[in-house]
Chains A and B, each alone.
Chain A
């Protein structure tokens, strides 16, 4: 109702304005017109000022002063008219006719206003500007109200026209002198905008002034030009605005094109950047795996499937007779046996035929090069990313200006959730408290021994835990070897899967224990996260290497078996051919179904299978923990809370927090296993891609649905490179065993692309000899001789040393420059302080003198004194 009333009043206002406009048009190009207009302007200014005062409850002291000053002056100079205005304004809402009357009165007052203008010559312009700015604002508001309450398009148009009139008609009507003045005013405003930052005003006032002067400049800058210039200017402004809008839209489009960007942003806004950093890392990993996958899929699996010999053509591509019965069972397939084992998914399926298909695809060579290429590519990407991150993050130092950093940079501006903001607020306050306490304690210097002791103790406990878990895994692996010797069929499912189970369980629970232990240490959460990462890293590494050692043992067993099988096969073949040969030497050789041919235990396929199984079980554990540990817990907490004796949500079980360190390490180790196993199981990158894709969605959902923000939300931009460093280490550690097996162990004799060769890398030599011209192999052999290689390596080492030393010197120079900057800043501060003090002194003196003169004059004349004093006051306040 109130709104409607407002609208009505404004309607009245508008009508009056329209009438005025009409009047203006009628009497345009005459001096009268100018005067009238200025009159109406002053009138409106008054009104707008009052409205502004009404609308803005909070006005800073300075502004209040100014308004007061304005009002006092208005009272002194044109109190009569003011009163009338006020009266009319009061009645305005009720009667429309009253408005007309007022305008009539305004007309009568024309002469009066003319005088006024002479009096307020200098200040008038400024006042007008301000009033204009305000008026424009008012009009906008009016328009909004109008469109919301009662949409009248015709009136709207009128309104706009009026605005245009204000902007366009005016400058043409002005005399050259006034134009000059306007130009000056525009320049002044521009200067003001530029120097606004340095002004010692309160922020609110700065904002108001900035907005007003910007509006003013925008309005009159173009209007100052004549005819064409103005249009061109308007066109330019419009185009720049459109261009800016287009740019913004384009940026939005670009962000929308980045996969999962919006999801990650949402998570970031709820959980802070540390959780988001995990998801960004996951996305990055997804990208890398995409490339690994396309390499193996496009250059190994697809050519073999399309152009290689079909399934069932040779023994290595056929399921053996003994396994045929259960080869399609789900249990077998789930274990990657049966048909899954004898397919392009594993090493053993590939044939050692040099070239396949109609365009002579070099299959073994491609297999080898892809295996090397994936690892090389990963090294390249990881190192490049690390270098880039180091450039970004290597600038700040954390030790100096501890409190100012906390003061000005601790807020995470990406948070968009009230709960997280609450947590962040609490964490900032606690961090301040802690920092103050730390500062005090560092001065006291007595508690440091206790902290040190606790830290040592914590590390000792963690080491114990690591040793215990290592021993447990060792024990389990030993036992499983015993079981394997006995024959797996005699044992239960639990015993067969003991190793995987124990590894997953330890990998799940030990980090929790570390987390609990790390509360002893009392580190900053960022540091604590790194320690935690380091510890879990050690744990996982131990687990992984135990696994690899067990695998090595298995490989040796298989190779022994292989020797026996090889001997048996030659015997078998001999008996076969002898048998046939003795009967009839001319008869065609008996065709034996490939499934019946005896074959060796292909250790490469076994290794590949183990890795695939490990990945699958790992993925399953992750998802099941997610569902049980997070989702089920959240559901229980949420719905049992209605009928429980304490607050489950805020108290004891509560919702789980997102475990950044554990998830990051899970991801990194998963990747390590991919790198290790991808050579023997080309399907691994594909599986990993699938897993990453699913976990992206699943974890995004789980985080948003069942986790709560950490209590200590902190920024984690620095730890990104830490992830990368760990990834690099894992990459190195995971390529070691792969390279070891490739270089030292001869490939199986009857399966895989390298069967029949002494070593796997012989394939390169073979290609060089047969596919390249003779001179090339000669050059290669020269190039690979130690006499050339060693100097080259030496040169590289020298180059690295040189680059490192130069970067060190740059760093030092940087530190020096920083110091210089600091010094300069301090000096500037001192100078500024002195200047400010001086200004204060001057001001005080001026005040004294002003008051003295005022007193002096008061004695002389009462009436004159009042005005003068007020003038002085006005001067002072300005």
Chain B
């Protein structure tokens, strides 16, 4: 507090002919309000940006590689649960990676259990957390196609998936941008219908990719689509489209952002109804 007041005083004491310190002090409540109200965002900024830049400079590794190293040393190979736990610990205590996180992950698990889909598409594997999470909850004989755009991330995701003990028959990682892969899904991968789609890639791609899926007829009646982070960082166009188009029965599961308590976020759950 006192430090802050001093800080406030300093610039104005030089120019006291212009603005009196009392007026400057009157802005103190505003400053305090902003700091308190948006503390979670400041913390997030610190953890997700500042710490990352600092560590990148110090270690010379990318964030995902650091996460992988930690997971490799701190988990049991072949046990998806321990891998997920290690990830959660690293992301909440050490650095920040926007995985789906344990809380929203539980919602995802529940939806998967209820649906028990046979063909699953995941957009945006990142470093494999959500892939492992989904693959863990799949029924026997189900197949997960995971799309990742970035080469480096995909390599790490591949390692994580193999570490968790899922082979090529269960999880197939496709390294390409989603808007290139989706049109080829039917021809190259012999997919007729997707039972479950999980979206967690670029928030701006949610809407175009959804429309691509619709356009290529990959969605059947009852297919479920789950989109993460629709409130923060947010996909407003996606939500607006959902409200308007009427093709889906949808709702938003409200939760908080992964590994952070105060920032609201939501997961959209869509069930494709088809044209009535």
Contact = CB atoms under 8 A, between A and B. Distances in A.
A567 interface: no
B236 A510 contact: no
18 contacts: A426-B254, A465-B29, A469-B29, A475-B22, A479-B20, A492-B18, A494-B19, A498-B20, A501-B23, A505-B23, A505-B26, A506-B26, A509-B29, A512-B33, A647-B231, A649-B236, A651-B231, A651-B233
A502 B233 contact: no
A639 interface: no
The 10 closest A-B pairs by CB, nearest first: A647-B234, A505-B26, A509-B29, A646-B233, A509-B30, A512-B33, A513-B29, A516-B36, A476-B22, A513-B33
A495 B236 contact: no
Given A513-B32, A516-B37, A472 B26 contact: yes
A502 B26 contact: yes
Contact of A506 (B29, B33, B233, B234): B29
Interface string A489-500: 000101100100
B8 to A, nearest CB: 12
Among B18, B20, B30, B232, the most chain A Cβ lie within 10 Å of the Cβ of B20
B41 interface: yes
A652 B25 contact: no
Contacts of B17: 492
A499 to B, nearest CB: 9
A509 B19 CA distance: 18
Give chain A's interface secondary structure class: helix
B38 interface: yes
B27 interface: yes
A105 B55 CA distance: 94
Contacts of B29: 465, 469, 506, 509-510, 512-513
Contacts of A513: 29-30, 32-33, 36
A255 interface: no
Contacts of B25: 472
A638 to B, nearest CB: 11
Interface string B201-217: 00100000000000000
B242 interface: no
A650 interface: yes
A650 B236 contact: yes
A509 B203 CA distance: 35
B174 interface: no
B235 interface: yes
B236 A509 contact: no
Contact of A641 (B18, B27, B37, B236): B236
A472 B233 contact: no
A645 interface: yes
Nearest to A492: B17
Given A513-B33, A516-B33, A498 B23 contact: yes
Contacts of B18: 492, 494
A469 B234 CA distance: 39
A646 B231 CA distance: 9
Interface of B: 17-20, 22-23, 25-30, 32-33, 36-38, 41, 203, 231-236, 254
Nearest to B23: A501
Given A647-B232, A650-B231, A494 B33 contact: no
Contacts of B26: 472, 501-502, 505-506, 509
A645 B26 CA distance: 33
B40 to A, nearest CB: 10
Interface of A: 426, 465, 469, 472, 475-476, 479, 492, 494-495, 498, 501-502, 505-506, 508-510, 512-513, 515-517, 641, 645-647, 649-652
Contacts of A647: 203, 231-236
A426 B251 CA distance: 11
B27 A509 contact: yes
Contacts of A641: 236
A652 B23 contact: no
A831 to B, nearest CB: 43
B261 to A, nearest CB: 13
Contacts of B234: 646-647, 649-651
Given A495-B20, A513-B36, 14 more contacts: A426-B254, A465-B29, A494-B20, A494-B23, A502-B22, A505-B26, A508-B30, A509-B33, A512-B30, A516-B32, A516-B33, A516-B36, A647-B235, A651-B232
Nearest to A652: B41
A510 B32 CA distance: 10
Contacts of A495: 20
Contacts of A517: 36
Contacts of A649: 234, 236
Contacts of B30: 508-509, 512-513
Among B25, B29, B231, the most chain A Cβ lie within 10 Å of the Cβ of B29
A506 B22 CA distance: 11
A704 B236 CA distance: 21
Contact of B22 (A498, A645, A646, A651): A498
A495 B19 CA distance: 8
A495 B15 CA distance: 13
Nearest to B204: A645
A475 B26 CA distance: 12
Contacts of B41: 652
Contacts of A651: 231-234
Among B17, B38, B41, B234, the most chain A Cβ lie within 10 Å of the Cβ of B234
Contacts of B236: 641, 647, 649-650
A650 B266 CA distance: 11
Contacts of B232: 646-647, 650-651
B27 to A, nearest CB: 7
Contact of A652 (B22, B36, B38, B254): B38
Contacts of B37: 516
Nearest to A479: B22
A649 B27 CA distance: 26
Contacts of B23: 494, 498, 501-502, 505
Contacts of A512: 29-30, 33
A492 B254 CA distance: 53
Contacts of B233: 645-647, 651
Contacts of B19: 494
A645 B236 CA distance: 12
A404 B174 CA distance: 54
A682 to B, nearest CB: 33
A516 B30 CA distance: 11
A789 B17 CA distance: 60
Nearest to A645: B233
A517 B18 CA distance: 32
B82 to A, nearest CB: 32
Contacts of A516: 32-33, 36-37
Nearest to B231: A650
A501 B22 CA distance: 9
A508 B23 CA distance: 13
